[in-house]
Homo-oligomer: A and B are copies of this chain.
Amino acid sequence: MDPVLPSRRLTSALDRLRAQGERVTPARRAVLQVLDSADQADEHLTAEQIGVRVADLEPTVHRATVYRTLTSLTDAGVLSHVHLGGTATVYHLVASEAEEREAAGGTDAGAAAYGHLHTHHAHVQCVGCGRVLDVPPEALEGVASRLQEELGFILDTSHAALLGRCADCS
């Protein structure tokens, strides 16, 4: 539906960066823009894939810089990463708290539960086709509370993907 235009999420991320005294450079702008577009298309990109797309946007940006940028932006809290089945790590823009609230409030949790989840969410990956599906964090509430009660373990539901086999690959 929406064309890929500089979204509010992108602007917001840049603002938060600046607010922390971090510098906004072409490389960082490009990385954030790539991830913003990817998120809008529900894509999950690895560092390498991000590098390729950044090269389109800003050909002078070096690969090593992409890696360093992903690290520093993650430290700065505007990006998060998810570990997929063993190999890859994929990156996401992190929504501001305001955006997070807005998304939660404006949504019928049931109907939109598996729609476009542009905020905090969990991931499952198919071992057959590699596809990554987004899942609302509530789906893991059961395990989370059980682990907390029985082991004192605080589960981070969005940090690692669960593996399995999707409907198409069964």
Interface residues of A (CB under 8 A from B): 81, 83, 85-87, 89, 114, 124, 126-127, 133, 135, 139-140, 142-143, 146-147, 150-157, 159-167, 170
Q: Which residues of B contact A162 (CB under 8 A)?
A: 143, 155-157, 160, 162
Question: A139 CA to B163 CA in the complex, in Å?
Answer: 15
Q: Which residues of B contact A161 (CB under 8 A)?
A: 160
Question: A49 CA to B48 CA in the complex, in Å?
Answer: 28
Given A114-B151, A147-B139, A170-B154, does the pair A85, B165 have CB atoms closer than 8 Å? no
Q: Which residues of B contact A85 (CB under 8 A)?
A: 83, 159-160
Please tell me how many copies of the chain the complex holds. Answer: 2
Residue of B87, B89, B159, B163 near A156 (CB, 8 A) is B163
Question: A139 CA to B127 CA in the complex, in Å?
Answer: 21
Q: Which residues of B contact A86 (CB under 8 A)?
A: 81, 83, 89, 160
Contact of A153 with B167 in the complex, beta carbons under 8 Å:
yes
Minimum-distance CB pairs A-B, first 9: A152-B167, A142-B142, A83-B86, A155-B164, A159-B163, A160-B163, A154-B165, A156-B164, A154-B164
Q: Which residues of B contact A152 (CB under 8 A)?
A: 166-167, 170
Question: A153 CA to B150 CA in the complex, in Å?
Answer: 27
Closest to A166 in B: B153
Q: Which residues of B contact A89 (CB under 8 A)?
A: 86
Given A133-B153, A153-B133, A165-B154, does the pair A143, B147 have CB atoms closer than 8 Å? no
